[in-house]
Amino acid sequence: MDFEVTVVGGGPTGAMLASELRLQGVRVLVLERDAEPTRAVRALGLHARSIEVLDQRGLLDRFLPFGTQYPVGGFAGISKPAPDRLDTAHPYVLGIPQPTTERLLIEHATELGAQIRRGCALVGLSQDDHGVTVDLADGTRLRSRYLVGCDGGRSTVRKQLGVGFPGEPATREWLSGEVELTASPEEVAAVVTEVRTTQKGFGVGPSGEGLYRVVVPAGGVAGDRSTPPTLEEVGRRLQVVAGTDFGVHSPRWLTRFGDATRQAEQYRSGRVLLAGDAAHVHPPTGGQGLDLGLQDAFNLGWKLAAEVNGWAPEGLLDSYHTERHPVAADVLDTTRAVAELLSTEPGPRAVRRLVSDLMDFDEVNRFLVEKTTAIGIRYDVGEGHRLVGRRLRDVGLQRGRLYALMHEGRGLLLDQTGRLSVAGWADRVDHVVDVSEELDVPAALLRPDGHVAWVGGDQRDLIDHLPTWFGAATGRALPGRTKPRPRRY
C-alpha cells in the first residue's frame, strides 16, 4: 500500500483528521484539489466544543493570538446574555477566519508527518476487500487501506460511491466577499443598522487591512454556485437591498452560497468514509458548519486509527456513523429553524418574538446555547451515570488540568481512588491518579475524543467496559516500561 489512509480534501476537516491519524502512527496522504490555499472566508469563528477539541490536543495556544474572543449568547440573531456556569472552561466564541484555521491545522498535520499534496484532483475510485484505489486527474493511481472524503458539499468521493444525499435544494442565495469601500465607516454602520432591522441576512463590516466583509441576498439562485459573482453583481444587489453600493471596489475574493440542506444517507461504505461537508451541507446561519466537520474528524480519527492498527473492537468504526449522523441531522434541523426565524414574513416574525420571550427562561436559553456550541451532545453509549456519553469539560486537578493530559490522543482513566488498573490496555489507555474537586465520581474512563465511556470505582466493572472501546487486552506495556503503572501528578 502507498499509504494506510488517503484523505481527500485539505480543508479544516481533512487537516484535523490527518493529525488525529498521525497521532496514532498511521501513514496518511492528504490530496487537495486546489493548488493554493483559498482566501475565501466561509467561516468566521469556532464555538466552545471546537475550542475544547483544540485544547485537548494542545493546539489552542496557536489559535488564540489570531482570534478574538466574543461572549456566548443569543440564538438566530436574538441577543440574550449567556446562562451562568456553562459546562465548559471556554465559554466564548473564538472569532477567527477560516483560512487561518485551515493554515494552522495544516501546519500541525505536516509537523506530525502527514503528507499534503496540492493540485491533485480525484477523478475515480474503486475498492476491494483489501484497500481503495484512487485515480487522479494527472493519470496517477494510488492505493491505501482506507479513504476518507473530506472534499466538500460537491464531494467527488460521495458521488463516486453513489451514496444518497437527500434533502432540500437551495431556494435562496447570498453573495459574499471581502472588498474595499469608498463610503465612510460612519455611513456604512448607519446603513447596516437600518437594513438589518428587517434583513437579518445582510451585513457589511470591517475585516481588517482596510477590507470589508459583505453579505447580501442575491436576486435568485444561480445554476452553478461554483462560479463566483462579479463585482458588478454584488454592487447591484447592494443598491437593491441597501440603497447604496458603498462604492464597492477592489475585491480580494467573491463567492456565493445558498441554503441547500442535505445529509449523506450513510457515512461509511466499505473502506471509504465521509466527513465534513461531504457528509452534510446546510446554510451558514449559526456558524456551525466548520465546527461540525472538525468534530466529525475528532470522532473518526481514533476509531479509524484503531482499525488500521489492528486493535479496534467489532463495530467501533461503524459507531462513527451511529454517533455523528444524528448530530448532523440535529444541526440541519437547527439551521432550518434559524432560517425561518430570520424571515421577514409576519408569521416567522411572530414566532421569533415568542422564542425571544422563551429565552428569558434559563432552561431554554441554556438548551439553545448548548445546542449551538455542541457542548450538550451526548452519544448513546448505553445506560449509566449522567456523564456517560457526554464529553468531560477541562476539569482542574490537584496537579494540573485534564486536557493537558490528552494531547497524545489516547484513552484516559482518571482515577480518584488510586485502586484501579488498566493493565492489558496500557498501550492504548493512560492511567492518571489524581483528584478533582469538580468531579464527583470515583473514576471516569475517557475515550480519545474526551467522551466518557464509563464511570465507577469497581475494577471488575472497568474490565467489562474497556474492551468495548479499546479492544482486547494485551500483554504489551508502554515503551521503556517493564510493566504498566499509573501516572501520579
The rounded distance, in Å, linking the Cα atoms of 81 and 79 is: 7
pLDDT tens digit sequence for 48-90: 999 999 999 999 999 999 999 999 988 988 989 989 889 999 9
Contact criterion met (CB below 8 Å) for 439 and 395: yes
Co-location of 298 and 363 in the same domain: yes
Co-location of 249 and 206 in the same domain: yes
pTM exceeds 0.85:
yes
Last residue of one domain, picked from the residues 258, 275, 296: 258
User: 43 falls in which pLDDT band (50, 70, 90)?
Assistant: confident
- Answer yes or no: is pLDDT of 1 > 80: no
Range of the domain at 46: 3-167+262-373
Cell 490536543 identifies what position? Answer: 57
Check residues 258 and 307 and name the one with the higher pLDDT.
Answer: 307
Last residue of one domain, picked from the residues 226, 258, 290: 258
Q: What is the mean pLDDT of residues 86-105?
A: 94
Check residues 259 and 350 and name the one with the higher pLDDT.
Answer: 350
Co-location of 184 and 154 in the same domain: no
pLDDT reported for residue 486: 54
pLDDT tens digit sequence for 308-329: 999 999 999 999 999 999 999 9
Co-location of 58 and 95 in the same domain: yes
Average pLDDT, the chain: 92
Co-location of 414 and 401 in the same domain: yes
- Answer yes or no: is pLDDT of 202 > 80: yes
Co-location of 282 and 428 in the same domain: no
For residue 381, is it within any domain?
no
Cell of 440: 464527583
Co-location of 135 and 271 in the same domain: yes
Share above pLDDT 70 across residues of the chain, in percent, rounded to a whole number: 96
Co-location of 227 and 242 in the same domain: yes
Co-location of 292 and 417 in the same domain: no
- Domain with residue 178: its CATH number is 3.30.70.2450
- Answer yes or no: is pLDDT of 384 > 70: yes
Total of domains in the chain: 3
Closest C-alpha to 53, from 86, 83, 88, 80:
88
Give the long-range contacts of residues 125-134, CB within 8 A, separation 24 or more: 125/157, 125/160, 125/161, 125/272, 127/270, 127/271, 127/272, 131/1, 131/271, 132/6, 132/271, 132/272, 134/6, 134/8, 134/31
- Answer yes or no: is pLDDT of 489 > 90: no
Question: How far lies 52's CA from each of 41, 63, 294, 393, in Å?
Answer: 22, 12, 11, 8
Q: What is the mean pLDDT of residues 102-130?
A: 96
- Domain with residue 480: its CATH number is 3.40.30.120
For residue 274, is it within any domain?
yes
Co-location of 270 and 360 in the same domain: yes
Share above pLDDT 90 across residues of the chain, in percent, rounded to a whole number: 79
- Answer yes or no: is pLDDT of 427 > 90: yes
Read off the amino acid at residue 13.
T
pLDDT tens digit sequence for 123-174: 999 999 999 999 999 999 999 999 999 999 999 999 999 999 999 998 888 9
